[in-house]
Amino acid sequence: MPRLGLGTWPMDDAEAERVVAEAIGLGYRLVDTAENYRNERGVGLGLKASGVAREDLFVTTKFNREWHGVDLAAEAAERALDRLGLDYLDLLLIHWPNPDHGKYVEAWQGLARLLESGRVKAIGTSNFKPAHLDRIIDATGVVPDVNQIQLSPFTTRDASREYDAAKGIVTQSWSPIGGAGGEVRKDPLVTALAEKYGRTPGQIVLRWHLELGLAVAVKSSNAERLEQNLDVFGFELDPADVEALSGLDRGEAAAADSDQFGH
């Protein structure tokens, strides 16, 4: 799985088709979408329009709570494949645990079965806390390949990162530069480091993720920012600067609570 990829929320089909093709042309190889984004058809069209061979691309999607069941997860995968126009998925995730619904263990059992079919190459979770992960691993013996969680210098999610690392789970960050408001990028420490390294604030934050060993899905529909977001492999941050950025953490309360929210 590429370390850095394109996130597509909240693009519609038309925007996703344009941006996905453009991003792949710039060098992106991972594209992240979801049933709930309602843009899988556009993403699929963008993948085809890029002209890049399917085997050179990594496509992730996620399914909603209505498909939390052993057989339902398989149906969710087939529906996603149809919308995307693909023969297989590189990574399929349960989008939220929805513990109030009480079916995420069954959803995970369904994903584990899908691995045997070849229609899904890897499986994982999104927005799962360590307690949720304990339940699915204890029930099935199958450890997720990826856990995708909200993560930025304002929400460093230390407990989740430590848990994932101990289990061999790749942590992938969503909303890695803090969302559309740009509050993280405007932080005085981030802007000072951007000046120090001769980089944009967004590049500083994305490099922080990479320094921590994280994978990243970052959204932009702007051509210049798409290029900038990908251009974060040619420099490194001093360890003291990585630590300083981590010190901006506002705690778990700053992240969406997956015990209370989901779809």
For strands 123-126 and 146-150, give the pairing: parallel
Q: What angle do CA 186, 189, 190 make, to 5 degrees?
A: 50
201, 178 Cβ separation under 8 angstroms:
no
Cα distance between residue 21 and residue 17, in whole Å:
6
Cα distance between residue 17 and residue 39, in whole Å:
9
Cα distance between residue 9 and residue 95, in whole Å:
13
Phi and psi, residue 247, nearest 5°: -70, -5
Token readout for 111 is 């994903």
From 28, 37, 104, 163, the catalytic residue: 37
Measured CA to CA in angstroms, residue 143 lies from 147, 157, 221 at distances of 10, 19, 34
98, 69 Cβ separation under 8 angstroms:
no
Cα distance between residue 177 and residue 201, in whole Å:
9
Give every CB contact of residue 79 below 8 A, 6+ residues apart in sequence.
35
Q: Would residue 197 show up in a list of annotated catalytic residues for this protein?
A: no
**Residues annotated as part of the active site:** 37
